[in-house]
């Protein structure tokens, strides 16, 4: 018996399979995000705390977005305070939060725009900012967008989101005893801000 490989498939079939796989991955991501949100709200998703360097996490994370930024003509930069100490937090959840913010920033920033991630050391906490030069968030939506499935009407990104990334991000940051909000970027666009205690 001969087993068909992907090389034997017609291009149109390959494309259909790729779209199907992406759809399945998106659906699984949606289900997992909903489950995680429900568990965070009920305290059933405990934090797995460890001490780690944000420098390393940021360098790795930004590296995963560089290609997308380059392909879309967006300048992606990051700046980390030289005096930044290690923090105690749930590495995986903080990584997901920052990935959500970078993903959103790149999704809504036009070609020729900028996205910048900065981290500053403060007394007993760190201040994290993700700036972009996209359309910004109207003042009346700056609290609402952290709720499930809420998206700013009339603002289209490069791809559709689930409407859960910011809701998860807020719950995860609150679980660490921190806070997250969005304000206007003085250079145009949005500035998502996080204040996170060094040791929750």
The reply to whether 142 and 112 lie within a common domain is yes
Quickly count: other Cβ atoms within 10 Å of residue 59's Cβ.
Answer: 12
Asked whether the beta carbons of 177 and 49 are under 8 A apart, the reply is no
Last residue of a domain, one of 11, 29, 46: 46
The reply to whether 79 and 171 lie within a common domain is yes
pLDDT at 153 (0 to 100)? 66
pLDDT at 161 (0 to 100)? 61
Asked whether the beta carbons of 102 and 192 are under 8 A apart, the reply is no
Q: Which one, of 107, 153, 163, lies nearest residue 134 by Cα? A: 107
Which domain does 173 fall in, by range? 47-197
Domain CATH for 151: 3.30.565.10
The reply to whether 42 and 54 lie within a common domain is no
The reply to whether 35 and 93 lie within a common domain is no
- Read off the pLDDT of residues 58-110 as tens digits, 9 standing for 90 and up: 999 999 999 889 999 999 999 999 999 999 999 989 998 999 999 999 999 99
The reply to whether 94 and 104 lie within a common domain is yes
Rounded CA separation 180/174 (Å): 8
pLDDT at 193 (0 to 100)? 98
The reply to whether 126 and 159 lie within a common domain is yes
The reply to whether 109 and 119 lie within a common domain is yes
The reply to whether 5 and 31 lie within a common domain is yes
């Amino acid at each position: 018996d001969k087993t068909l490989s992907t090389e034997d498939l017609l291009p149109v079939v390959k494309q259909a399979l790729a779209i199907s796989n992406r759809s399945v991955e998106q659906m699984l991501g949606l289900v997992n995000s909903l489950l995680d949100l429900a568990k965070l709200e009920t305290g059933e998703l405990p934090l797995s705390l460890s001490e780690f360097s944000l420098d390393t996490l940021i360098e790795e994370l930004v590296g995963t977005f560089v290609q997308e930024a380059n392909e879309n003509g967006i300048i992606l930069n990051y700046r980390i305070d030289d005096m930044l100490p290690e923090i105690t937090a749930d590495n995986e959840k903080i990584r997901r939060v920052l990935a959500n913010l970078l993903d959103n920033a790149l999704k809504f920033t036009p070609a020729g725009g900028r996205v910048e991630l900065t981290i500053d050391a403060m007394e007993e906490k760190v201040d994290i900012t993700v700036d972009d030069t996209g359309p910004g968030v109207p003042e009346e939506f700056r609290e609402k967008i952290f709720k499930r499935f809420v998206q700013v009407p009339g603002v289209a990104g490069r791809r559709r989101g689930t409407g859960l990334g910011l809701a998860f991000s807020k719950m995860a940051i609150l679980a660490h005893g921190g806070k997250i909000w969005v304000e206007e970027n003085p250079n145009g666009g949005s500035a998502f801000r996080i204040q996170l205690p060094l040791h929750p």
